[in-house]
Chains A and B, each alone.
Chain A
Amino acid sequence: MSDGDLVRQALAGRAGAYEELVRRWAARITAVCHAKVGRGGVAEDMAQETLLRGLRSLRSLEEPDKFGAWLYGIALRTCKDWLKAKERSQVTFSDLGPDRDPDKILYGQPRPDEPELDREDERRWLMTEVESLPEEFRVVLMLFYYQELKYRDIAQILGVSAATVNARLTKARAMLRERLSSCER
């Protein structure tokens, strides 16, 4: 069943239709949010908020078959709101010390289920490098590895061609190789 069909069913009151959309899109939206905000734990919150905002404003979606692109737009705006709020927050010098991380002061200790952000292992290292790639490359990489999407599905979300997806993934991988090998030196 297409996204458009599920949207129409959800609008018609069918229990479970929006749930199917949530299951289908959770990984993609989390990937996009992760690419935007650069933090896995925060990305989950942004994705959750996006999916709930999507439900609340579903009636405003004029073209149900464009659900994905529409939800992507909500994700970008949700993340933008968060990034703006983050910029406005201030941490005083007195709160900082040699061992104090400003983000931890702002956002508290990591949740128990958050990826092990404090452990220096290869996975964390690689994820940090992924998170620091330029945005157009990291979003493609994250969409691919979060859900192993086909190029055409990534292309549809981002509004580019499949060839562009291939080119950006190739470039992202090359940049990662370059960065990781320069770290090893």
Chain B
Amino acid sequence: MRVYDTTFIINPQTDDSLIDQSVRSVADLITGNGGRIINEDRMGTRRLAYQIEDLTQGYYTTFIFEGPSSILPILDRHFKLGESFMRHLTIVYDGDLSAFTPKETEVIAPIERKSTPAPGAAAMTPTEPTPPASDTMAEAAPPIADTEVEAEVASPVADPVESTPAEEQAPEKPPPSAPAEEAPPAQKEPPGYDEEDEL
């Protein structure tokens, strides 16, 4: 499948909704006939180099798409029959497509974590295995305690596995209350501002 570039001019005196509808119709035509739109560029209203049908401005739109060659006569017919299309041009696109493809996230070295034990694990080991206070309590409590223990044991183990991938860059977040309290006072007055200066 080849990559094509189609540009068309729409009468700017029509309503914005009609302009959008015309652009959408072209996009739907491309995707509906086996094409894949790589880039859509709405250049907006531009002054024409010469008058076309007594108009001095036109709404330019460009689609760069990939598709079979059978799309081209369908597209051409759509432009010719449409009343709002003033001019159109479809060419084979030879340019660089890397500007339109989404860039992969950069791989950055993982943050070295300190070897401090997880808070959950530290609190877990001495206290969580609840010693049975009485026989009746021991009979009722252990099943719940065991599941809680298992869940809490699982979570600190899971956290390092989830956070070690190199792509995740966010450091451990401080408690949510701390930044909210610290930020506003710093932004109240710019440095060097004195009320006395105004007076």
A and B associate in one complex: no
Interface residues of B (CB under 8 A from A): none
